[in-house]
Amino acid sequence: MAGNPKYQGEKIIKDYGKLSFDYVPEVLVHREAQLQRLQTIFKPVLHGVRRTALLLGSVGTGKTVTAKRFCQNITSEGTLAGINITSLLINCREKRSEHAVLHAINSFFNPGCPDRGLAPEEFLRSIRRSLEERKLHMIIVLDEADEILRRGADDLIYVLTRFNEEFCQDYSLSLILISQRYLLDQLDKSALSTFCKANIVSFERYDAAELRDIVLSRIDLAFYPGTVEEECIDLIAESSADWGDARFAMELLETSALIAEERRLSGVTPECVREAKNMTCSDGSYETKLSKMDYNHKLVLLSICRSIGRSAYTTSIATENAYKIASEECKTAAKGTTTFWKYLKDLAKDGWIEQKVITDPNGSGGRTTCIYISDFPIGELRYIIEKEFNLTI
Ligand SMILES: Nc1ncnc2c1ncn2[C@@H]1O[C@H](COP(=O)(O)OP(=O)(O)OP(=O)(O)O)[C@@H](O)[C@H]1O
């Protein structure tokens, strides 16, 4: 961190905009296959032919950002090929009816057009005229499309997919639906017949390694170099891997950085990430939870906190040594190894710690158990227990 010429005092985030959920990176990590598939499906659009596709996957798997990236890419390709392509993303959680969606599309061309009083056919006529005048091929992206189908808007899908029934090279309207759930079975027969069922692009949940790469690429884009400790990236990736959710990873990254900036630290530390996770997804009542814990478990938890220190994790061997020292400090006889392991198991069961068996980092070739605390601020836990046990803080 020192020696970094761009580093300015407590500044960590270089570009807040590039941390926002709406930012569309030039390069998407681990979504090349989906982008390629979209490119294949929509190739006919470059020849004036409309297409449809459904992007399917659970929360935070990059469906929206991939759709946006794809639309930007095909617009540039269209320019090179001499074809005018534009796109519009509509979130169906905000535009909840057929009328609201059609109004949004029409407003794209005719800002300020009245919200009320127009029938669907009038909206469609106006949209068709706008496309025709501009010789435009438009891709409509309906994000969270299941929201609108739940409200019975099959007609909307039908009219949008049938928009130019007669092929017209000058203008067309294509459709991308984004959903967390399969929804084509909710379409009525006529809507389904116009929606190509084969054009499904699946988005699997990200694993920890993929999330790590995504976080790393965002750090490169949005942070001053050298301001995020390596271990933080692992912690964020591990924490979001349970759901495979990149949005949660982005939120953790931003919140951790804001905590570090607020504290005027020179960089993001694992403790900032733990605090961010606690703020983001727990009810913040670790003090209450801790107050219900018995003496022996608290002593083991304290040993884990001490052993982790400023790192992201510790090993069971280091923790057992820390436990023996803490027991001596408290003038209690340390329990044997079997009981110590039982305490670790209990702490894991109660959600305080996570354990993972890895190859010994010291090169012995053996296996060792790593212990993480990813949901709670270690400094705070340590402070509370040491105060209660009258230990030197
Ligand atoms: N492969 C990726 N590379 C870079 N950033 C990504 C990638 N995947 C997701 N992100 C980022 O993660 C966040 C969430 O992604 P996105 O909104 O696309 O998810 P989603 O699948 O549409 O989620 P939801 O179903 O909840 O709407 C965004 O900030 C996005 O930029």
> What average pLDDT does range 363-367 have in this prediction?
75
Q: 214 in ligand 1 pocket by Cβ < 6 Å?
A: yes
pLDDT band, residue 140 (cuts 50/70/90): very high
Q: 25 in ligand 1 pocket by Cβ < 6 Å?
A: yes
Buried b (16+ CB within 10 A) or exposed e, 266-280: bbbbbbbbbbbbbbe
Buried b (16+ CB within 10 A) or exposed e, 308-343: beebbbbbbebbbebbeebbeebeeebbeeeebeeb
> What average pLDDT does range 22-45 have in this prediction?
95
Asked if residue 344 lies in contact with residue 316, where contact means CB atoms within 8 angstroms, the answer is yes
Pairing of strands 85-91, 367-372: unpaired
Three-class secondary structure of residue 167 per DSSP = coil
The whole-chain average pLDDT of the chain stands at: 88
Examine the pLDDT at 295 and tell me if it is beyond 50. yes
Is 86 annotated in some ligand binding site? no
Is 335 annotated in some ligand binding site? no
Top CATH class of 286-388 equals: mainly alpha
Which regions of the chain carry the CATH code 1.10.8.60? 5-16+206-281
Q: 222 in ligand 1 pocket by Cβ < 6 Å?
A: no
**Listed range (182-186, 217-221, 312-316) with the worst mean pLDDT:** 182-186
Instruction: Between 151 and 165, name the one with better pLDDT.
Output: 151
Mutate to test the pocket of ligand 1, among 21, 29, 64 (most ligand atoms within 8 A of CB): 64
The predicted-structure confidence for 34-66, as pLDDT tens digits, reads as follows: 999 999 999 999 988 899 999 999 989 999 999
Q: 250 in ligand 1 pocket by Cβ < 6 Å?
A: yes
pLDDT band, residue 10 (cuts 50/70/90): low
CATH number assigned to the domain with residue range 32-203, chosen from the 4 options 3.40.50.970, 3.40.50.720, 3.40.50.300, 3.40.640.10: 3.40.50.300
Examine the pLDDT at 257 and tell me if it is beyond 50. yes
Which regions of the chain carry the CATH code 3.40.50.300? 32-203
**Listed range (75-79, 117-121, 320-324, 357-361) with the worst mean pLDDT:** 357-361
pLDDT band, residue 1 (cuts 50/70/90): very low
> What average pLDDT does range 305-332 have in this prediction?
91
Dist CA 113 CA 107 (whole Å): 6
Q: 19 in ligand 1 pocket by Cβ < 6 Å?
A: no
Is 63 annotated in some ligand binding site? yes
> What average pLDDT does range 236-264 have in this prediction?
92
- Residue corresponding to tokens 């949209």: 127
Pick the residue whose CA is nearest to atom 15 on ligand 1: 62
Is 117 annotated in some ligand binding site? no
Fold of 5-16+206-281: Helicase, Ruva Protein; domain 3 (1.10.8)
Which regions of the chain carry the CATH code 1.10.10.10? 286-388
Supply the pLDDT for residue 284: 54
Pairing of strands 367-372, 354-359: antiparallel
pLDDT band, residue 393 (cuts 50/70/90): low
| pTM metric for this prediction | 0.78
Pick the residue whose CA is nearest to atom 8 on ligand 1: 62
Supply the pLDDT for residue 5: 40
